[in-house]
Copies of this chain bind each other. A is one copy, B any other.
Amino acid sequence: MGKQEPRRVGRPNTGSREKLLDAASALMIERGSIDIPVADIADGAGLNPQLIRYYFGGKQGLLVALLHRVATKALADLNALVLSDLPPVRKLEMHLAGIVSTYFRYPYTNRLLHSLLLDQDATAAGEVTRFFVEPLVEAQADLLRMAAEAGCIRRVDPMLFYFSVIGACDFLFSSRHTLVKVFGVRDIDDELRRRYARHMVDLVMSGLRLDDQMDRAA
């Protein structure tokens, strides 16, 4: 590809920027790792490695931009859900299935997030906190509040909810080696994605039922 479009090196365009992000994303999925050399990313995109410096200021900038792209898509869906006219319980269910879908499509999301949050460079950590984690926590808290105010679920600490639900949805996708070695499941196909989303919705939505519903059931 690079050979057919030699001018790209001299004249960068928006397509090249996206191509680099696409290549990084594809390689992370393929190798099950976020440690991809810049040379491989450039190779995968069929572009000159210097473009990574040009567009992103370096490899870390590229990683932040990749996470930003995932976050933008996921948060757009989530915010549309918060503002929609759906019943509050349905919104929460769709949010849970949405998290599973995001990790299904971009299984490197959480590893990338944590690697950037742990980075010595406080700027990157601050950025990803602002554009990803804070808006996610806020939208989740809104969904929980709406459902609780409508009398559909019990009140729950949004912080504890965040850690338990994000950790649970992510773990299937970030532990593929366990899936292979212990359960003999080589690939997460769309059927397993759907079963896991269903499992999470059942577990969490039943788990959030009101105490008086529980008492009546007991």
Contacts and interface: CB of A to CB of B under 8 A. Distances in A.
Contacts of A177: 114, 117-118, 125
A137 interface: yes
A23 to B, nearest CB: 22
B159 A183 contact: yes
Interface of A: 32-33, 114, 117-118, 125-126, 129, 133-134, 137, 156-157, 159-161, 163-172, 174-175, 177-179, 181-183, 185, 195-196, 199-200, 202-209, 213-214, 216-218
A125 to B, nearest CB: 7
Contact of A203 (B33, B126, B204, B217): B204
Contacts of A167: 167-172, 174-175
Given A177-B118, A207-B206, A214-B206, A172 B163 contact: yes
